[in-house]
Structure 1
Amino acid sequence: MQNNNSLLNTKKHFEILDGLRGVAAISVVLFHFMEIIFPPKENVIVHSFLAVDFFFCLSGFVIAYAYDSRIAHLGVWQFIKLRLIRLHPLVVIGSVLGLLTFFLDPFSNFYPTYGFGQTLLMFLASVFLIPYPLMEERFFNLFNLNAPAWSLFWEYIANIFYVFVLYKFSRNTLQIFTFVAAALICFIAFKSTNLMGGWSGSTFWDGGARVLYSFLVGMLIFRSNWAIKNNIGFLGLSALLLLAFIVPFNDNYNWLTEPLIVLIYFPVLVALGAGATIKPKLEPLCKLSGEISYPLYMIHYPFIWVFLTYFVEIKPEMALLKFTVPVYMVLLIGFAYLTMRFIDVPIRNYLKNKWVKNNR
């Protein structure tokens, strides 16, 4: 058996892709505030929900880059364990925060409606990533306590398919499946007039289509060596990513603009990010941005639920919101950093060290 210490050795990071992941995560958090305050046509960052598709594309690229050359030696169960170590602590942390805010939200009291049994089921479903769209008050999200977990559910599905099937695909086979997945994206966009689905019980399978295409095309970018050499840099690519998020909302054209962003624009950005050079002075910023991206994504939404009930019950003036939202954003980013530094990383290091010891 290959030495597990060597299997744990990680390849170099794509610093700019790490940084872009953080930009996308911050944009998602801001979008979740803005969609509560403004109708879509007044939301200046209305298409930030497509950041999830960007995440899926990045994931396909990174997984193929990190594991294609060693998955045969690593094996199915070791791969799954490593992915669980990387991803699941924050799934549990987000679930705990969701449960705490469910009970402690000063502007709502849902517990009498759902009682101990249903509340326990919601928590367990969140911890184990079992879709359970129960709460009408929360728009039948697949995960009532921590809404963004829907994308982690599909991320896990993609990882399972990768280790059992996808890593064996030749590049030609991967191209065929990517083309089929692109056609499916177009069908869903035309049928639903947008690509916003996947997070609720009624749009469950839309999430499968979204991860299928973006994960496959991310793999294809790596397998085809489509890294585009350029000097755009982190700031330039961040601006290009933000352009996708501020495309105006239009009921008549979303079915066209959103697939174009997902099918073409995001893969090009990933290829550009993979081939870009970074200025040394920006490396710490990219590293920090990448480090907080996943914690921020997984811990912010329990507090969004509190903000939603605050907004509905208190009906604050816009002047107050202009102060509240930026402060809330800064606090969430700071909390994500502290969660990463003092909870997530220590737990992952402990589990990884234990994994190494058990496999010597």
Structure 2
Amino acid sequence: MNIQKLKIQPDENINIEPIKPKQHFEILDGLRGIAALAIVVFHFMEIVYTPEKNFIAHGFLAVDFFFCLSGFVIAYAYHDRIAKMKLTDFFNLRLIRLHPLVIFGSVLGLLAFLFDPFGGHAQTYETGKILLVFLSSILLIPFPVMADRYFNLFGLNAPAWSLFWEYAANILYALFLYKLSRRSLFLLTVFAAVGICFVSNRAGGSLLGGWSGETFWDGGARISYSFLAGMLLYRSNWIIKSQLGFIGLSVLLLLAFLLPFSNLNWLTEPVVVLLYFPLLIALGAGAKLSSGFRKICVFFGKISYPLYMTHYAVMWMFANYYAKYKPDANQLFFIITLGTIILLGFAYLTMIFYDIPIRKYLTERKKKA
């Protein structure tokens, strides 16, 4: 394999132009879908097994992969035009892309909380408190007050914690990050890398944090490095050309999630986040996609966000089911496999009948306005 510079033209501020506007990185879309599936399986498994016995114990690192990929994609999509845009236009575009599923996931979480067939604690909450939790969820305001849900930042839709930080990164990008020279961006990324190592050390050697009130700032450290690293990949103007296709890169990505949980987490997790994920994105941007996998990658890319934002309502119900019935290993295999397939199908329906139509309507309305 060889490293190839992206074709660029001078720019008055940072001397680059982005890669061809019509180019689309289908393999990266496919890898996003693989990461989303991995995190669904991880969430099932963490309810049942301790990290030492969880075969996908590092599935939570998929969030760091999302963050890094987001930095790359945002820089690619907006670098050449954001200076000419109004801030309100940029924020509206990001809201249209992200927030419909924030709201939908919150509604699902509320319904699952109120009507969980396997139990739960809805009756112990006052109506006013439930309403506040729901409003904070749809407005993406951290509100870690649900003790029986381990003080998640968003008790009705736990994965929304990463969307909170995604919004923060987008805001900072539009305000000043896009203006940074490559040198300044590199130095800031190095500083953020030190932050990752500090968080890992403080947390006893693991980066599994950011989702709760107690670990709130861990999420800031995780997105700070990965988002900046993704930007730096794009702004450094290089991709890695190789013969690796979608299958090869998917295997390499899964290896990161399948790393055993051990006393070496203090080393392996930072290495994966700091070096391995940026490398995979550089490889994915330069790999060739065979025509046979194109539709799969496009589908995985489209389904990844709906799957991520709608799956966790089922996890709380599954946790209550498991606590009540204690199914054996064979039953768990069947439940988790079937559950993952059903969640994938539900995410597809959500995408077709809710997310795409809503975003299309909001986009057309914005154009008319």
Q: How would you bin the TM-score normalised by the shorter chain?
A: over 0.9
* Residue number among 109, 117, 138 corresponding to 1:98 in the alignment: 109
State the 1:322 CA deviation.
1.4
Structure 1 partner of 2:166: 155
State the 1:133 CA deviation.
0.6
Equivalenced residue count is 349
Structure 1 counterpart of 2:301, one-letter code: G
State the 1:338 CA deviation.
0.5
Tell me if structure 2 keeps the 8 A contact 1:237–1:273.
yes
Structure 1 partner of 2:235: 223
Structure 1 partner of 2:98: 87
Tell me if structure 2 keeps the 8 A contact 1:11–1:66.
no
* Residue number among 310, 313, 320 corresponding to 2:321 in the alignment: 310
Per-residue deviation, residues 30-73 of structure 1 (Å, max 9, x unmatched): 00001111111111111010000000000000000000000011
Q: Which runs of 5+ in 2 are unaligned?
A: 1-20
**2:235 corresponds to 1:235:** no
Counterpart of 1:202 in 2: which secondary structure?
A: coil
Structure 1 partner of 2:213: 201
Counterpart of 1:97 in 2: which secondary structure?
A: helix
**2:71 corresponds to 1:64:** no
CA distance in 1, matches of 2:60, 2:116: 25
Q: Between the two proteins, what is the percent identity of the paired residues?
A: 59
Structure 1 partner of 2:334: 323
| Aligned pairs (5 A) from 1:177-216 | 177-192=188-203, 193-216=205-228
Moved more, 31-40 or 310-319: 310-319
**2:154 corresponds to 1:143:** yes
Moved more, 314-323 or 154-163: 314-323
Q: CA RMSD in A?
A: 1.1
Per-residue deviation, residues 258-300 of structure 1 (Å, max 9, x unmatched): 0000000000000000111100111000000000000000000
CA distance in 2, matches of 1:161, 1:257: 29
Structure 1 counterpart of 2:251, one-letter code: A
Tell me if structure 2 keeps the 8 A contact 1:15–1:278.
yes
Tell me if structure 2 keeps the 8 A contact 1:142–1:199.
yes
Counterpart of 1:44 in 2: which secondary structure?
A: coil
CA distance in 2, matches of 1:225, 1:274: 11
- Answer 1 or 2: which has greater helix percent: 1
Structure 2 partner of 1:285: 296
Counterpart of 1:227 in 2: which secondary structure?
A: strand
Moved more, 63-72 or 108-117: 108-117
Q: TM-score, normalised by structure 1?
A: 0.96
Counterpart of 2:145 in 1: which secondary structure?
A: coil
Tell me if structure 1 keeps the 8 A contact 2:120–2:320.
no
Per-residue deviation, residues 308-344 of structure 1 (Å, max 9, x unmatched): 1111111112221111111111000000001001100
Structure 1 partner of 2:258: 246
Tell me if structure 2 keeps the 8 A contact 1:47–1:244.
yes
CA distance in 2, matches of 1:318, 1:240: 28
* Residue number among 119, 122, 141 corresponding to 1:111 in the alignment: 122
CA distance in 1, matches of 2:209, 2:354: 32
Structure 1 partner of 2:268: 257
Structure 1 partner of 2:133: 122
Structure 2 counterpart of 1:13, one-letter code: H
State the 1:109 CA deviation.
3.6
CA distance in 2, matches of 1:56, 1:224: 18
Structure 2 counterpart of 1:124, one-letter code: L
Per-residue deviation, residues 111-139 of structure 1 (Å, max 9, x unmatched): 22112101001100110000011111111
State the 1:12 CA deviation.
3.1
Counterpart of 2:240 in 1: which secondary structure?
A: coil
Q: TM-score, normalised by structure 2?
A: 0.93
CA distance in 2, matches of 1:317, 1:279: 41
Structure 1 counterpart of 2:111, one-letter code: L
Counterpart of 2:239 in 1: which secondary structure?
A: coil
* Residue number among 149, 156, 177 corresponding to 1:166 in the alignment: 177
Counterpart of 2:206 in 1: which secondary structure?
A: coil
Q: Which runs of 5+ in 1 are unaligned?
A: 1-9
CA distance in 2, matches of 1:54, 1:146: 20
Tell me if structure 2 keeps the 8 A contact 1:21–1:55.
yes
CA distance in 2, matches of 1:348, 1:204: 30
Counterpart of 2:142 in 1: which secondary structure?
A: coil
Structure 1 counterpart of 2:220, one-letter code: G
